[in-house]
Structure 1
Amino acid sequence: MPSIVGPIKINSVGGGVVNFGDAFYLSPKSSSKTNAGSGALNTGDFINTNTGYSATRTLDPDVSDQNVTANA
């Protein structure tokens, strides 16, 4: 059933979905980027990482990497 929603102000939403009125299909979207050095994101038991020298290039000349647009 259609509904009328008045003025709304949402300051921030962290990791959630805000839904007003009827919804047939909800598709939350997010995009993030992480820079980590060699062996930095290993998980598990008894990890042994020998890297010697590691350098992570954080310079990103692209304008955008992952576009989140529309409702597709």
Structure 2
Amino acid sequence: MPSLVGAVSINSVGGGVVNFGDGFYLSPKSTSKTSAGSGALNTGNFICTNNGLSSTNPIDPDVNDQNVTANA
């Protein structure tokens, strides 16, 4: 199906793929995990973040989160 894309603002693309329109088969080829406190990873043109007490727990007891098995 055709799609209409309005205004787009892309600040940077580092090693990624930007898709516009329809996608038949999209799947991740790599995975990663990031731990950050509240308000740390905000992106946008106008950000106003008010945080009180913030705590991040990076301990993850399970072994597998996002498996990339048979992902060709």
Q: How many Å apart are 1:28 and its aligned residue?
A: 6.8
Query: Is 2:56 the counterpart of 1:51?
Result: no
Q: How far apart are 1:71 and its partner, in Å?
A: 3.9
Percent identity between matched residues is 77
Q: Which has the larger radius of gyration?
A: 1
CA distance in 2, matches of 1:30, 1:52: 34
Cα drift, residue 46 of structure 1: 3.0
Q: 4+ residue runs of structure 1 moved beyond 4 angstroms? A: none
Q: Does 1:60 align with 2:60?
A: yes
Change in 2 beyond 3 A, CA 1:40/1:68: same
For 1:65 and 1:58, locate their aligned partners in 2 and report how far apart those are by CA, in whole Å.
Answer: 13
Q: TM-score, normalised by structure 2?
A: 0.55
Q: Provide the aligned length of Structure 1 versus Structure 2.
A: 47
In structure 2, the gaps of 5 or more residues are: 1-14, 16-26
TM-score, normalising length from structure 1?
0.55
Asked which structure has the greater RCO (Cα within 8 Å, sep 6+), the reply is 2
- Relative to 1, partners in 2 of residues 1:71 and 1:52: Cα closer, same or farther, differing over 3 Å? closer
Structure 1 residues not aligned, in runs of 5+: 1-14, 16-26
